[in-house]
Amino acid sequence: MSEKKKLFIKTYGCQMNVYDSERMGETLGAEGYVTTEKVEEADMILLNTCHIREKAAEKIYSELGRFRPLKDAKPDLKIGVAGCVAQAEGAEIIARQPMVDLVVGPQSYHRLPELEKKARAGEKALDTDFPEEDKFDHLKARPKAKRGPTAFLTVQEGCDKFCAFCVVPYTRGAEVSRPASRVMGEAHDLVERGVREITLLGQNVNAYNGHEAGLAGLIRDLAAIDGLERIRFTTSHPNDMDDALIAAHGEVEKLMPYLHLPVQSGSDRILKAMNRKHTAEQYIRLIERIRDARPDLLLSGDFIVGFPGETDQDFEDTLGLIETVGYGQAYSFKYSSRPGTPAAEKPEVAEDLKDSRLQRLQALLRDQQRAAQDAMVGRKVKVLLEKSGRLEGQMVGKSEYLHAVHMQAEGLSRGDIAEVRVVSSNSNSLTGEICAD
């Protein structure tokens, strides 16, 4: 029997890329590859890229340059670039880094076996099409190996919102939803392999329409799966948060009380320039409705500081929205232009002003995050145990609110759900004790 080839995958960016990397590994696994965490062992290196962060493409070229000694030492080593930078840059990647053997976009990775064979034959392999066929129909069946207690599951891809700052509609394409029957089949398979919590993924996951009752209908069907104890979803757009989904937060016990709902700015003027198609007031009223349905909801959000044209008052409006809403978690970034997007054509805010605004905004968000954690002290939470801690007998898991919780957990195992009383709040986690009663 021939020796297995080794595949090293490095994943950048969002949870959807984590899911895609898993599927790429499985697809090439069917072609004789096994994954390795040691890049120097690899027969193929695959970078699954993200185009959201600043200078994303340049960072990938820099990373590729570091692989030159490996390629020189092992001429048969194949190097591939996948994901959104691959989609955006296309053949330019091979032109700038000739040692790259294959480039594949996020909608075409089901064709990896063909591309790998082409690369092995000494040809350059490129596929950044938006194919008519559904890639999920062509991916190999997932292996039946036991896996950890949590899993990502992509249900929707692409975006039709065309926010002025975002490249996703150009790199991931139009909104497409997977049929509910396929999602349910994959979910059942994951649960059979030991998964107890599933996070549903999509660029605009709450725009999901593969179920006749939308995302709420899919969640209710998933909640009926025996052995699946927790359901989450990310990332959402405020305009797709419908009445049924709001109701599900109050009615579906397995849907966790954590919601990531980006707003980006608290200024109506900037929201309009961003093409968000909602106002700050509409967002605040929406949060009120969701919290009416689920009062203990922990809210997460995204914020962009220094969008072109942002004035001091616009920034103060954003701080005001944050103070009004109250976030238990948030992600914030300085605006950086993306070629081809409408905002890239506008004059940028001075970099030092972006820096100072970001520092103020992040300080406020940190205070809110810490307050939310401190408020958990004394409360009972249910923790899904995920891994061993640093101390003997210690385990770490996530509460319903996605807080990391450390505890002594003798007699318990990975995948168990323990009722825990929170005894202290740390910088980025909680400490708890198993409830005896």
Nearest to 202 by CA among 178, 171, 167, 229: 178
Distance CA(279)–CA(286), nearest Å, equals 11
Q: Which residues pair with 80 in a beta bridge?
A: 46, 102
Kindly list the distances between the CA atom of residue 25 and the CA atoms of 5, 30, 287, 373, in Å, as whole numbers in the listed order.
Answer: 12, 9, 39, 37
Task: Provide the pLDDT for residue 26.
Answer: 87
Nearest to 380 by CA among 299, 300, 434: 434
Strand 258-260 versus strand 230-234 pairing type: unpaired
How many CA atoms lie less than 13 Å away from 358 in the CB half-sphere? Answer: 18
Tell me the chain's radius of gyration from C-alpha atoms.
23
**Lookup: tokens for 152:** 């990502």
DSSP 6-67: EEEEEE-SSHHHHHHHHHHHHHHHTTTEEE-S-GGG-SEEEEEE-SSSTTHHHHHHHHHHHT
Query: Which amino acid, one-letter code, is at 207?
Result: A
Task: Provide the pLDDT for residue 1.
Answer: 41
Helix (H) or strand (E) holding 190: helix 180-192
Distance CA(263)–CA(274), nearest Å, equals 11
Residue that is written with structure tokens 């605006």 in the block: 335
How big is the CA angle at 15 (ends 281 and 78), to the nearest 5 degrees? Answer: 145
Nearest to 369 by CA among 331, 423, 319, 318: 331
Strand 394-398 versus strand 404-408 pairing type: antiparallel
Task: Provide the pLDDT for residue 138.
Answer: 56
Distance CA(432)–CA(422), nearest Å, equals 4
Residues 6+ apart with CB under 8 A from 191: 225, 226, 227, 228
What is this structure's pTM? 0.83
* Domains in the chain, CATH or no CATH each: 5-127 (3.40.50.12160), 138-374 (3.80.30.20), 380-434 (2.40.50.140)
Q: What angle do helix axes 112-120 and 15-29 make, rounded to 10 degrees? A: 60
Distance CA(324)–CA(320), nearest Å, equals 6
Distance CA(415)–CA(429), nearest Å, equals 19
Exposure string (b/e) for 66-86, b if CB count within 10 Å is 16 or more? ebeebbeeeeebbbbbbbbbb
Q: What angle do helix axes 280-293 and 312-325 make, rounded to 10 degrees? A: 10
pLDDT 10s digit of each residue in the chain, 437 long?
Answer: 457 899 999 998 778 888 888 888 888 988 889 999 999 999 999 999 887 666 777 888 888 989 999 999 998 999 999 988 888 888 889 999 999 999 998 878 888 889 999 999 999 989 887 655 565 665 666 566 678 899 999 999 889 999 999 888 887 888 999 999 999 999 999 999 999 999 999 999 999 999 999 999 999 999 999 999 999 999 999 999 999 999 999 999 999 999 999 999 999 999 999 999 999 999 999 999 999 999 999 999 999 999 999 999 999 999 999 999 999 999 999 998 888 889 988 999 999 999 999 999 999 999 999 999 999 999 999 999 999 887 788 999 999 999 999 999 888 999 999 999 999 999 889 999 999 76
Query: Which amino acid, one-letter code, is at 144?
Result: K
Residue 36 zone, left/alpha/beta (φ > 0; ψ -120 to 50; rest): beta
Exposure string (b/e) for 388-411, b if CB count within 10 Å is 16 or more? eeeeeeebbbbbbbbbbbbbebee
Task: Provide the pLDDT for residue 169.
Answer: 84
CB 435 within 8 Å of CB 428: no
Q: Counting beta carbons within 10 angstroms of the beta carbon of residue 35, is it exposed (0 to 12), middle (13 to 18) or buried (19 or more)?
A: middle
Dihedral sign of CA atoms 239, 240, 246, 247 in order:
positive
Task: Provide the pLDDT for residue 326.
Answer: 98
Kindly list the distances between the CA atom of residue 283 and the CA atoms of 262, 372, 392, in Å, as whole numbers in the listed order.
Answer: 10, 21, 46
Give the three-state DSSP class for 109.
Answer: helix
Q: Which residues pair with 387 in a beta bridge?
A: 396
Task: Provide the pLDDT for residue 228.
Answer: 98
Nearest to 300 by CA among 350, 254, 233: 233
Please state the φ and ψ torsions of residue 223, each to the nearest 5 degrees: -65, -20
